[in-house]
Structure 1
Amino acid sequence: MKKFCCVMLALLPLTAFAYPIDVQKQLNGLSIDYNAYDTDSDMASIQVNNYGTTDAICKVVFNNGPEAPRTRTIHVPAGKHTNATAKFTRTIIKMRINLSCSPK
């Protein structure tokens, strides 16, 4: 029984598919916050929150390494939030997201 428990505890890290997410941001003085998520092993998403009083246009670039970067342009109204997602063909090992926002 002890051996079985040790084997199960050793396999526990294999069940998690979380990967590190690095976010580089350029907010240009806007009151913007974000939450990045590892949605699936080949999909990433980011929620952009606008706490300011002006609408924002944000460009989000998802970079997985050898694959071509995925670029999304989103409109974030004042006091609201918007999501952006990107799906890749390979399993993500490390996600790099560039977020740049400007007033509308």
Structure 2
Amino acid sequence: MKNLLCAFAALVPLTAWAYPIDLDRQLNGTEVTYVTDDLDPSMGSITLRNDGQSPVACSVIFANGPEAPKRRRASLAPGETANLVVHFNRTIIKLRIELECTP
């Protein structure tokens, strides 16, 4: 029984930092790859990379519950990478990200 309790106690911190991230994307024919990440209980990020041959303009809206949504923008040349980070005043329960890229 003690072994079972120790194993459960060891797994609890792993689940405490993670929160779900919902991503709604509209790439509009662009070749943008993305990776989302939870940096902190109140911070989230998305990394964008332009794999196409033409410049791309991307707009990202981060939403967390009752707080006002926060917008970040990035212009990416071919082969360029951008890391967009957002910090909320409250702990993130579920992060919703809307990504829209236009050529």
Scaled by the length of structure 1, the TM-score of the pair is 0.90
**Counterparts of 2:66 and 2:11 in 1: how far apart (Å)?**
26
Check if 1:58 corresponds to 2:58: yes
Residues 10-89 of structure 1 mapped to structure 2, 5 A cutoff: 10-16=8-14, 17-89=17-89
Could you tell me which residue of structure 2 aligns to residue 6 of structure 1? Answer: 4
What residue identity is the alignment partner of 1:14? V
Long gaps (5+) in structure 2? none
Scaled by the length of structure 2, the TM-score of the pair is 0.91
> 1:34: how far off?
0.3
Deviation readout 1:67-104 (Å, 9 max, x if unpaired): 1111001111111111100000111111110000111x
**Counterparts of 1:100 and 1:24 in 2: how far apart (Å)?**
8
What residue identity is the alignment partner of 1:51? D
Deviation readout 1:56-76 (Å, 9 max, x if unpaired): 110000001111111001111
Aligned residues: 101
RMSD after superposition: 1.2
Long gaps (5+) in structure 1? none
> 1:7: how far off?
2.6
Q: 4+ residue stretches of structure 1 with deviation over 4 A?
A: none
Kindly, what percent of the aligned residue pairs are identical?
Answer: 41
Counterpart secondary structure, 1:73 = strand
Counterpart secondary structure, 1:79 = coil
